[in-house]
């Protein structure tokens, strides 16, 4: 059987110093190759886990965004309901105000018929001058 140190190989420069192949050196080389491949696998797993984590973070962000959109839609619906209620209340108040004006006009007309013509009231301005007010019925 041939011993490893007896074989002669034509190896390039830096490997020529180890020409009788030492089994210990082969084992060290194999260990280095195994360690490098293991570290590459770990790095690959970390990157996969990181991308999965980014994916789950993106999914959480999308869920959160959907919740915000739903909240905004709910707020818009509620705002529309409040707007309708306010519009209804304003309409009711307007009707009541129109009725009150009509009643006041009717009373004034009755008073004018009973007493004859009623003189127009005089209004005083801030500067002290007086202005005669004209009364007219409003129709809305």
- Residue pLDDT, tens place only, 92-132: 999 999 999 999 999 999 988 888 765 666 667 777 777 66
Residue 108 · residue 135 · CB < 8 Å: yes
Mention every residue, 6+ apart, whose C-beta is less than 8 A from residue 124.
130, 131
CA distance 89 to 78: 16
Domain that holds residue 95: 21-113
SS (H, E, C) 51-66: HHHHHHHHHHHHHHHH
Q: What is the pLDDT of residues 14-57, one digit of tens each?
A: 555 545 566 666 777 778 888 888 788 877 777 776 667 677 78
Strands (E), the chain: 122-124, 130-132
pLDDT of residue 133: 59
Is pTM beyond 0.85? Reply is: no
**pLDDT, the chain, mean:** 76
Record the tokens describing residue 3, joined without a space.
Answer: 């011993």
Q: How many domains does the chain have?
A: 1
């Amino acid at each position: 059987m041939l011993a490893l140190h007896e074989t002669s190989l034509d190896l390039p420069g830096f490997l020529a110093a180890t020409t009788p192949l030492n089994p210990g050196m082969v084992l060290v080389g194999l260990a280095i190759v195994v360690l490098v491949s293991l570290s590459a696998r770990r790095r690959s797993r970390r990157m996969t886990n990181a991308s999965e984590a980014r994916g789950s973070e993106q999914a959480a962000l999308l869920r959160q965004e959907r919740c915000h959109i739903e909240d905004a839609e709910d707020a818009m619906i509620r705002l529309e309901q409040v707007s309708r209620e306010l519009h209804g209340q304003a309409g009711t108040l307007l009707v009541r105000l129109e009725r009150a004006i009509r009643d006041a006009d009717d009373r004034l007309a009755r008073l004018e018929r009973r007493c004859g013509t009623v003189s127009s009231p005089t209004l005083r301005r801030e500067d002290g001058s007086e202005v005669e007010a004209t009364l007219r019925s409003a129709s809305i």
